[in-house]
Structure 1
Amino acid sequence: MSKLSKEDKINIYYLWKDQCYNPKQIGNKYKINSGNIQYLVSLIDKYGLSILDRSYQSYSDVFKLEVIRRALTSKQSINSIALECGLSSRGKVSNLLRSYRENGYTIVTKKKGRNPNDQSGERTARSGKSQAQERKTSLTREELEAAYYQRIYKKIR
C-alpha cells in the first residue's frame, strides 16, 4: 500500500465507510488488492487516521523479535498479528518471517545510508571498484599485445 498517498488512503476509508463501496470497486479504482483495502480499513478503525501520518517506520530488533515470536507461537493469522502491532502493511510480518528464516534464525539489522566510497572518489557502475583501482589492475601495452598474440595463435592452431 505504499504506492498510495495519505489522501488516497483516507478517500478509500471514506468510500468504504460512508459511501458503502465494496472492496472490488475500490480495488479497481485504485488498482490494489481488496485484501489490502480491508486491512487498511481495519487499521484505521483500530488506530484512527493518525496511523497514516507515519511515512516511514523503522522497527527495533526487540519489536521484530516479538512480532516473529507471535507469528510462530500463536495460532493467530498474520493479518491479525500485523493489525495488533500496528504495522502499515500486512505483508511485513511475512517479510520478517522470511528474512528470519533466510538469515539462520537471527534478526539482521540493515545499516542505513550508502557505503562509504574509497579515497579516490567515484566508483564504476560494473565492478564497484574505483577508477584508480581499475587502472592499477590493468595490464601494460606489451602484456596486452602478448596476450592477444597468444589468443590468435591458439585460434590458428
Structure 2
Amino acid sequence: MNLSPYALEDLFIRLQGTQIVDYSYSQQILRLQIKTPVASQLLVNADTLHLVMRDCTKLVYYSYTQTLEERIPQRDPNYFFSFGLQIQGLQLRNRDTADKMANQDFIIFCNSYLHTIEAGELHFRTSAFELYDQEFGQINYDDFKKAADKLQASS
C-alpha cells in the first residue's frame, strides 16, 4: 500500500486520458478498473489495471454541464460511473497536510468517453491505494512508473 498522497497524484498524472471501464464501491473500498496502455507494458495481453482505494469516503460527483449554482452533488456511483468517465487529472486538496495519506481529499477531473457533453469532478477522501492486475495480483507502484515512463518515451 502506498501511503503518500503525492504518489496517488503522480499515478493519476500518468493515467491522464485513460478510461474507467468498471468500478465497484462497497464498505468504503472503491475499485476502479482502468483501461490503459501501461497495462500491456507490465503484463502480456492486458489492457486494464485495477486501482483499489481503501477508507474511501465522501464520494460525490459534480457535473460541469450544470451552472455552478445548480450543481447538485451526485452520490450514486451507478449514476455517475455510467457516463464512462475518462481521467483528465487529479488534485490533492490538502497540500498543507499532504505528508500523510490518512484522510486526504482528492478531486479527479474527468470527461466522458461515451457522451461528449459530459465532464465533471469526482470528489473523494481516501487513506490508502494499491494497484492490481486481476490475474496476477498486486502491482508494485515503482514498476508501474517505469512502465509508464517507458511507454511515454517510446511515443
TM-score clears 0.5: no
More strand by share: 2
Question: Between Structure 1 and Structure 2, which shows a larger proportion of helix residues?
Answer: 1
Which interval holds the TM-score relative to the shorter structure?
under 0.3
Q: Taking structure 2 as the reference length, what is the TM-score of the superposition? A: 0.21
Instruction: Tell me which structure has the larger Cα radius of gyration.
Output: 1
Q: TM-score, normalised by structure 1?
A: 0.20
